[in-house]
Amino acid sequence: MSTTKTITLAFTGASGMPYGIRLLELLLAGGNRVYLLYSQAAQIVAHQEMQLVLPSRAKEAEELFRHRFNAAEGQLRVFGREEWFAPVASGSNPADAMVICPCTMGTLAAIAAGLSQKLIERAADVMLKESRKLILVPRETPFSAIHLQNMLKLARSGAVILPANPGFYHHPASVQDVVDFVVARILDHLGVTHTLMPRWGTEN
């Protein structure tokens, strides 16, 4: 599996920010180029769950994560919520894949309805229309009938619905192990190699 991809990664305001931050870390560590987007609500959740301040200015965010994860110059680009000249806004320059992690039910509904009022929604719409991989990682429970209908609509349109539902057959010993289980499944669907845990049916 290739480890040199361009991935659009979006954080929204659902609980589960550790999944998104860990995914960003591993994508950058694997040498991938990442286009990062995040909502205002994601900034609140990041602070609440991780005591992490996501800067409002894109350049400040790039510097923050570049130093935090030792990324190469230009490997990470961060775009504002309405930065319509970003590459992700056009089907003429789509990323190889996009992940929204965590994904709110509001964002999921907007994508299912074809709305593109924010850059995250537009980027997801581009992925669907260009038949590129779109992975949505909802972190909500329970799901209402409306949530399930929207997920089914998106699955039928080609999106991968990958809820943040960790397994326990790998005997997690920490919260990080639980987070890594979900992140490993996302990386698998992106075709990005990792060694987060042994695969089922193999020796530890």
User: Which residue positions form the known binding site?
Assistant: 13-15, 39, 104-107, 139, 169, 185
Q: Is 107 within 8 Å of 113 (Cβ atoms)?
A: no
39's CB contacts (< 8 A; 6+ apart) are 10, 11, 12, 13, 81, 107, 118, 120
Q: Which residues are annotated as a binding site for FMN?
A: 13-15, 39, 104-107, 139
Q: Which residues are annotated as a binding site for dimethylallyl phosphate?
A: 169, 185
Q: Residue 102 carries which DSSP code?
A: E
| Closest alpha carbon to 79 in 117, 13, 116, 123 | 123
One-letter amino acid at 23 equals L
